[in-house]
Structure 1
Amino acid sequence: MKYIKWFKEISAKDVSSVGGKNANLGEMYRHLAPLGVKIPNGFAVNADAYRYVLSYNNAWEKLHKILDPLNPEDVEDLQKRGKAAREVVYNCKIPDDLKKEILEGYESLKKEYGKDLSLAVRSSATSEDSPEASFAGQNETYLNIKGEEALLDAYKRCLASNFTDRSLHYKYDNGFDYFKVYLCVVVMKMVRSDIGSSGVMFSIDTETGFKEAVFINAAYGLGENVVQGTIDPDSFYVHKPTFKKGFRAVLKRRLGSKELKMVFSEEISVANLAQEYTKNVPVSEDDRKRFCISDDDVMVLADYAIKVEDHYSKLAGYFKPMDMEWAKDGIDNQIYMVQARPETVESRKRGAILEIYHLLEKSRVLVEGQAVGMKIGAGKVQVINSVEELPSFRPGNVLVAETTTPDWEPVMKTSAAIVTARGGRTCHAAIVSRELGIPAIVGADKATEILKDGEEVTVSCAEGEIGKVYEGILRYEVKKIDLSSLPRPKTKIMMNLGNPDMAFSLSHLPVDGIGLARMEFIINEYIKAHPMAIKHPEKTDDYTRKKLDELSYAYKNYEDFFIKTLSEGVGTIAAAFYPKPVVVRMSDFKSNEYASLLGGKFFEPKEDNPMIGFRGAARYSHPLYEEGFGLECAAMKRVREVMGLENVILMIPFCRRVDEGKKVIKTMEKYGLKKGEKGLKIYVMCEIPNNVVLVDRFAEIFDGFSIGSNDLTQLTLGVDRDSRIVAFDYDEKDEGVLEMIKAAVEGAKRNGRHSGICGQAPSDYPEIAEFLVKIGIDSISLNPDSVLRVLQFIVELEKKL
């Protein structure tokens, strides 16, 4: 046939003749369907057909007359001329021979899938999905099309969408000739995700450029809500290296609110193609509180994403991260790939220049949402409620809206930052702001109500996954570091980290792993409940049980919630630095801190001095907490054996006595964590003088020592560091403290055990870092903000030694 080509006849090389979407669908259909990636069959209506329709109807001259004088920066002119151009194309007649080919293709699909087949009719531009420009959302798509008349009408509407306001401006911004981008059309089997689920996924983390994770967004119904940011979707990560080794586990998940799902209107006809052929309906409260796809579904999607990325990388000859769309059919329950294209933001970054934005001051937080990018922007708020208000937007302001669509792009690129009340990290506002390099916060509930026109604000996306809008214009700095030129010292430089949300972004720092990953942050921020309340809810009250029900609603039970949440938090940190060692400290809350957790007051004793009370190793085999420790062990066992992150080393805090150490090792073995089995190493914190005095005895029990200089200083000098009255006596540089550290390092070496430090001291004092290097410590673990400074200092020091 002259004007249509079946997917089996198309490859990625055919973009110029069938457009990006068709070319990628054909490439996957030919090469990935045999590998188990499900692709709905279909055909392309090619670029020759587009040129034929316009020439047959003498439309080129009319379009030139309309568009040659266009000023894309004038929003009103853009809207007026875009509408006129679309009318010219839509009013074109489809030549009979082209019409015949399209309808014959439709008949062939009905023979393959049955006479009740419905179609997805989608635009596919010849410059679309290139590494230079994604053309995401620029042209129209029509779904659930049935009947010849509806198909032909949808085809013409797709052609006309080559001249949407957003598409015209996008072409202008990216240097494309309006008349040289030809609109091809995809005609394919409709995947009935209206009664299933759908979403988008990337084979790279879109915010940080972390290459070793698949990032999946999912929602009920058709995918448009996810793409446009109408709803807050569920999200999932899968770690590629361990997946390829055969481990099947979600690395990280987040429950979205998913208030709406897009379904089809009752009757599909040519008439309502011009109106609304889909509608949004509310999602039940029960469904909103559950994940919309199963872990098994996530694994299928991860498998698809990895296969797609591997294939395209092999095709290109270099690493090629991909941006994909998927749909789960509610009839056959199968998951289909419905689009793939090169990721267009992180893949264009070159070199090893790391930009770190850092707020120098803080103020009242006005709203919070999901951070997009890792930058900071500031300016005056301007709330835009509709497309009609776009011409009034003043460049340099902070754009605040319920959500954005591609029509908004001309003003989005002039904003200092973007804040939307709805949407997830793969919605339109997120995708465009990434391409533009503008900080954005999406899903900031009630942002359009709370933020007022003219109000000065600072939008910070540099503090993890939660983006914050601060009151006022705040000072911040931007550090640019060329990582490629940084030499590495002989002493291992590691990092202290507790917040999993920062792990991917910090993974680019030149460290040798994590010297201290703290469980407390994960328990406090994500679990929020006392482990014993999880284990024995019957010993709490009605309020606590109600809150536990709310927290764990999306999980099998309370324990499943605790184990998965803790393991995924720790696993995210371990995956970010895989296969480098990640030392995870078992929980080290003090009794007053444990008591502040949900249900904690029912299980914790009241102590006069919790700092040296019921904490650390003493708790783990004690009847008051052993079952809670068992949950921690179950989570760590899951990290290592189910998630495959065997780079995790476990560490016991505040172990006072040798016998206590032996008891802890025995308790861990009872709960499935046997030292030495599957390479499991167990370290001990060296933070009590007795750990130093009996270092040889402790070395018989544990695989390594990590010096906690904070508590070691406190207990060596007999100073409560939390007491303001005697705070002046707390000094990590004290000669006695340094002698204790030296004895600990020498004892570790004498016994062939690892020695490291994870306390605050080397981050704050260069002279202590120098002292540690001179005594031959194996590793120094630093706070993230001091890694580069101390690393460079140690490199210069080692040159002199």
Structure 2
Amino acid sequence: MRWVRRFSEIGLEDVPLVGEKNASLGEMVRGLGNLGIRVPEGFAITAGAYRRFLRENDLEGPVREALSGLRCEDVEDLVRRSRRIQDAILGGIFPDDVEVEVLRCYRELSAACGEEHADVAVRSSATAKDVSTASFAGQQESFLNVRGEVQLLEAIKRCFASLFTPRAIGYREDMGFGHFGVGLSVGVQKMVRADLASSGVIFTLDPESGFPDVIYVASTWGLGENVVRGRVVPDGFYVHKPTLREGYAPLVRRRLGTKESRLTYDESGHRTVENVPTSVEERKTFSLPDAEVLQLARWAVLIEGHYGAKHGRRTFLAIEWAKDGLTGDLFMIQVRPETVHGAREAPKVKLYSVREKGEVLAEGLAVGNAVVSGEARVLQDPGEIASFRPGEVLVTGMTDPDWEPIMKTAAAVVTDRGGRASHAAIVARELGIPAVVGAQGATRKVPGGEPVTVSCAEGETGRVYRGALRYEETEVDPASIGRPETRIMLEVGDPERAFGLARLPNDGVGLARMESVLASWVGVHPLALTRFDSLPPRVKLEVSRRTQGCEDRREFFVDRLSQGIGTLAAAFWPKPVILRFSDFKTNEYAGLLGGELFEPREENPMLGWRGASRYYHPDYREGFMLEVAAVRRVRELFGLKNLKVMVPFCRTPEEGERVLRVMEEGGLRRGDDGLEVYVMAEIPSNFVLAREFALLFDGFCIGSSDLTRLVLGVDGGSERISSLFDERDEAVMKMCAMLIEEAHRAGRKVGICGPAPSYYPELAAYLVERGIDSISLSPDAVVPTVLRVLDVERSARKGAG
């Protein structure tokens, strides 16, 4: 009987013989080598050789005895039994025929590599009669930089022994596997000198959300065991699979890791490998260039396709890769199925209701539809962050961007002031946490340090109750809900949540705010980059620090912005993603690094220099051209043609024409390659002159908050008149109806964004009855609003019948 198989002799059908890891290596060598995918040479010692080793050393009896009466909950006893078994295995001797065959293959491998004793990796590969519900990944040991015949045989025995580590024994007990029903194969593979370069892991889906249309590449300096074992924070890269297959270069996102150490060969000879600290420069530098990230992603797509064809179903994979520092070549060194997300169902949506009465401490406008309980923490200043504990309810006067670090860890937010368009409301929606805004006197009425219940599940009024009340949480499966004729789209501002949100039922993104991406992913005023030489020394120093590693500061802006936008477009591809160009007001632009140098002070920024009026103005035009360049990169380099753009706060048709001309000068022409350009409908002139605007733009998106302010002449933030701010006012609703009618007459689409349709069922019904094409919602409002819209459409059909 043969105890060793070369990788070229095995494939996926040989899992019982050589385990999943080794069978997958053989599959890549045998089935994919002709496609240019490099796999280091090697061979597999069969599970039969392992069992022969146990028999020849009379180990089965002692192993059974050591496991007799095992109770895994007694950890100390489990460790003692494990140690006894491993010591017995390590004291065994290889059967002569097994040893001869192993050493012959090792000598042939060394000769093929031009070495006397090749440096190899020795890895465990578990086998079982039924592995469909099992994952042995990470349970058994691997050994790197093994050299020479004595070291090789010792490493193989240590792999055999690792089948009986405490975690491996406990796993088999939990899964109901017999300890002798699982065997062990050992793979011996030529080392790739990644200690002189980089290595890591590839997932053929997003490992966090399970989003299936990206390749995620993790990379670090040195040998990849640091990534596999979680010892370092690696660099992360996301590549969009569908447009990669079309020949584009859609590296939509990079994330710089800290890469604290490098696993390298131990030149002292005391150990085979050692971890050494990385330099400051290495930590600040990506460990893999873009071109090689894309090459790895192309290989991963080919491997995923090959495995899917073999299995007859879509199969997601986890792949280990390495770059040889001597030759510069890339290699795939391991592949296995990804088992965490592969079979995950679409997410269920939670609906809430309070089940008992309680004392109402404060009331305001509800943001979100959740109910949470937690200890209240009343703060007056974001500088008090040290006193705030994750999971508490933040109670404060109002919030601005300085509060966001606290808000990200809060269970809920309650503010004295603010409306549905306030900072607190917007950020709470994006974070997916409930908020009660405009709860006058909350900082006085809500006692700090006591438990409270925040309810946003009782209509438009949000309430803060004393104590931790009982509430009910119901999950709804979106797949069981019908889809309305009216398109239900999302409002998304945070690219980091995009892959998860894409799993909700949706028809795309009706509003993606560029300013959200600009603030969080760039953080620097665009003119501070285009006019860097004019900056005062202090600001220049900080801009240099932020843009470190990027010689062209314009490129820093375009690169960062295109990554954020590209992530959003990739998440919802091929559905439309409508990106609104930046709509910061002057006081908000001034908050960006260097912004105070370029922004005028205005008495009323809401009605000042914002939106379209900035894009063609000589004092901002060059900044807008950077936004245009980022959009072009997403559409042309990444291939994400589902990205559309929208012009906000466009006061006159003449302004619209000027903006379109500037876009064309930057290489974005409406209609080219399917580019659609929309306009926000938020100023009365957009409605009165709807026909003229329809000649310039492909569609309208009603901004209900600004429209209500300007139609009614109400500042929603003014406490004395805030009660007059109501999107359901007859004048506002008539304006919407007028726009829908005029736009449809001109063959243009109309949508609405903002929270109003989700808070006011009657407004949603009114718009649907008048034929609005789409409603864009915050993610938490999707399921409730879908149900309302379906009811309206059913009623309309009955009435028509």
Give the TM-score normalised by structure 2: 0.84
Q: Residue 194 of structure 1 contacts residue 330 of structure 1 at CA under 8 Å; is this kept in 2?
A: yes
In structure 2, how many angstroms separate the alpha carbons of the residues matched to 1:631 and 1:668? 11
Amino acid at match of 1:798: E
Where 2:239 maps in the other structure, the secondary structure is strand
- 1:360 and 2:395 equivalent? no
Q: Give, in whole Å, the separation in 2 of the partners of 1:732 and 1:604.
A: 31
Contact 1:360 1:475 in 2 (8 A): no
Distance in 1, Cα, partners of 2:720 & 2:486: 37
Q: CA deviation at 1:361?
A: 5.3
Cα deviation digits, residues 44-103 of structure 1 (max 9, x gap):
000111011111111111111111222112111111111111001010001221111111
Q: Could you say which residue in structure 2 is the equivalent of 1:105?
A: 105
| Residue 45 (structure 2) pairs with residue 45 (structure 1) | yes
- Paired residue type of 2:125: S
Q: 1:780 to 1:203 in 2, by over 3 A?
A: same
After superposition, residues 566-645 of structure 1 pair within 5 angstroms as 566-645=561-640
**Alpha-carbon contact 2:19-2:126 (below 8 Å) kept:** yes
* Superposition pairs of residues 445-456 of structure 1, within 5 angstroms: none
Q: Tell me the number of residue pairs that the alignment of Structure 1 and Structure 2 aligns.
A: 697
Kept in 1: contact 2:129–2:181 (CA 8 A): no
The aligned counterpart of 2:62 is 62
Partner of 2:191: 190
Q: CA deviation at 1:733?
A: 0.8
Q: Distance in 1 between matches of 2:557 and 2:677?
A: 22
**2: CA distance between counterparts of 1:478 and 1:211?**
28
Aligned twin of 1:14: 14
Q: Residue in 1 aligned with 2:792?
A: 797
1:316-331 to 2 correspondence within 5 Å? 316-331=311-326
Mapped to 2, the partners of 1:645 and 1:475 lie a distance apart of 46
Deviations 1:633-673, CA, capped at 9 Å, x for gaps: 00000111111110111000000111111000000111111
Tell me how far apart the structure 1 counterparts of residues 561 and 640 of structure 2 sit (CA, whole Å): 14
Letter in 2 for 1:113: C
* Correspondences of 1:623-772 after superposition (within 5 Å): 623-772=618-767
SS at match of 1:737: helix
Asked whether the 8 Å contact 1:756–1:780 carries over to 2, the reply is yes
Counterpart-to-counterpart distance in 2, 1:731 and 1:483: 30
SS at match of 2:201: strand
Question: In structure 2, how many angstroms separate the alpha carbons of the residues matched to 1:158 and 1:736?
Answer: 76
Give the corresponding residue for 2:445: none
Instruction: Report the residue type matching 1:184 in the other structure.
Output: S
Partner of 1:206: 207
Give, as a single letter, the amino acid of the residue that structure 1 aligns with 2:546: L
Residue matched to 1:82: 82
Q: Is the 8 A contact 2:577 2:643 kept in 1?
A: yes
Structure-2 residue corresponding to 1:162: 163
Find out whether 1:29 has 2:33 as its counterpart: no
Letter in 1 for 2:522: I
Q: Say whether the 8 Å CA contact 2:145–2:273 is kept in structure 1.
A: no
Once the two structures are TM-superposed, the CA of residue 456 in structure 1 deviates from its matched residue by 14
> How big is each residue's C-alpha offset from its partner over 1:711-759, in whole Å with a ceiling of 9 and x where there is no partner?
0110111112232232112111111111111111111111111111112
Which residue number in structure 1 is paired with residue 514 of structure 2?
519
How many percent of aligned residue pairs carry the same amino acid? 46
Residue 501 of structure 1 is aligned with which of 496, 513, 518? 496
Residue 244 of structure 1 is matched in structure 2 by 245
Q: CA distance change for structure 1 residues 494 and 700 in 2, over 3 Å: closer, same or farther?
A: same
Q: Distance in 1 between matches of 2:630 and 2:778?
A: 25
- Structure 2 CA distance, aligned partners of 1:131 and 1:634? 48
Query: For 1:111-143, what per-residue CA distance to the aligned partner results, in whole angstroms no more than 9, with x for missing partners?
Result: 211115311111111149944232221111111
Q: Aligned letter for 2:61?
A: E
User: Please, which runs of 5 or more residues in structure 1 have no aligned partner?
Assistant: 366-376, 380-454, 458-471
Q: CA 1:474/1:597 → structure 2, altered by over 3 Å: closer, same or farther?
A: farther
Matches within 5 A, 1:105-124: 105-115=105-115, 117-124=118-125
Counterparts of 2:166 and 2:450, CA distance in 1: 31
CA distance, structure 2, for counterparts of residue 107 and residue 236 of structure 1:
39
1:100 is matched by which residue type in structure 2?
V
Deviation at 1:548, TM superposition (A): 2.4
Larger radius of gyration: 2
Q: Which amino acid aligns with 1:45?
A: I
* Alpha-carbon distance change, 588 to 476 in structure 1, aligned in 2, over 3 angstroms: farther
| Contact residue 360 and residue 474 of structure 1 kept, 8 A | no
SS in structure 2 of the partner of residue 660 of structure 1: helix
Seen in structure 2, the aligned counterparts of structure 1 residues 527 and 350 have a Cα distance that, compared at 3 Å, is closer
- Taking the TM superposition and a 5 Å limit, the aligned residue runs for 1:412-431 are none
SS of 2:717's equivalent in the other structure is: coil
Equivalent position amino acid for 2:33 in 1: A
Q: Larger deviation: 211-220 or 65-74?
A: 65-74
> Residues 790, 355 of structure 1: CA spacing in aligned structure 2 closer, same or farther, 3 A cutoff?
closer
Determine the C-alpha separation between the residues in 2 that align with 1:21 and 1:90: 23
Contact 2:478 2:783 in 1 (8 A): no
AA aligned to 2:510 is G
Q: In the alignment, which residue of structure 2 is the partner of 1:315?
A: 310
Match for residue 95 of structure 2? Answer: 95
- CA positional deviation for 1:352: 6.8
Pair 1:516–1:128, CA change in 2 (3 A): farther
Q: Could you say what secondary structure the match of 2:254 adopts? A: strand
Q: How does 1:525-544 map to 2 (within 5 A)?
A: 525-544=520-539
Q: Is the 8 A contact 1:203 1:215 kept in 2?
A: yes
Instruction: Determine the C-alpha separation between the residues in 1 that align with 2:391 and 2:168.
Output: 28
> Which of the residues 540, 545, 558 maps onto 1:563?
558
Cα distance change, pair 797–564 in 1 and its aligned pair in 2 (3 A)? same
C-alpha distance in structure 1 between counterparts of 2:141 and 2:202, whole Å = 20
Instruction: Provide the rounded CA distance (Å) in 1 between the counterparts of 2:276 and 2:173.
Output: 36
Q: Distance in 2 between matches of 1:188 and 1:355?
A: 49
3-state SS of 1:161 partner: helix
SS at match of 2:182: coil
The one-letter code sitting in structure 1 at the alignment partner of 2:42 is G
* RMSD of aligned residue pairs (Cα, Å): 2.4
Corresponding residue for 1:778?
773
1:138-287 equivalent positions in 2, closer than 5 A: 138-268=139-269, 276-287=271-282
Aligned with 2:122: secondary structure? strand
Describe the SS at the equivalent of 2:342: helix
Letter in 2 for 1:2: R
CA distance in 2, matches of 1:57, 1:354: 57
Distance across 1 between alignment mates of 2:248 and 2:695: 33
Deviations 1:227-260 (A, max 9, x none): 1211111111111111111111311111111111
CA contact (8 A) 1:361 1:476 kept: no
Aligned pair in 2 of structure 1 residues 479, 565: CA closer, same or farther (>3 Å)? farther
Distance 1:547 1:360, change over 3 A: farther
TM-score by length of structure 1 reads 0.84
Paired amino acid for 2:139: Q
| 3-state SS of paired residue (2:123) | strand
Alignment equivalent of 2:341, drawn from 334, 338, 346: 346
Tell me, yes or no, if the aligned pair for 2:262 and 2:277 is still in contact at 8 Å: yes
Report if aligned partners of 1:359, 1:474 keep a CA contact under 8 Å in 2. Answer: no
Indicate if the aligned counterparts of 1:82 and 1:163 stay in contact, CA closer than 8 A: yes
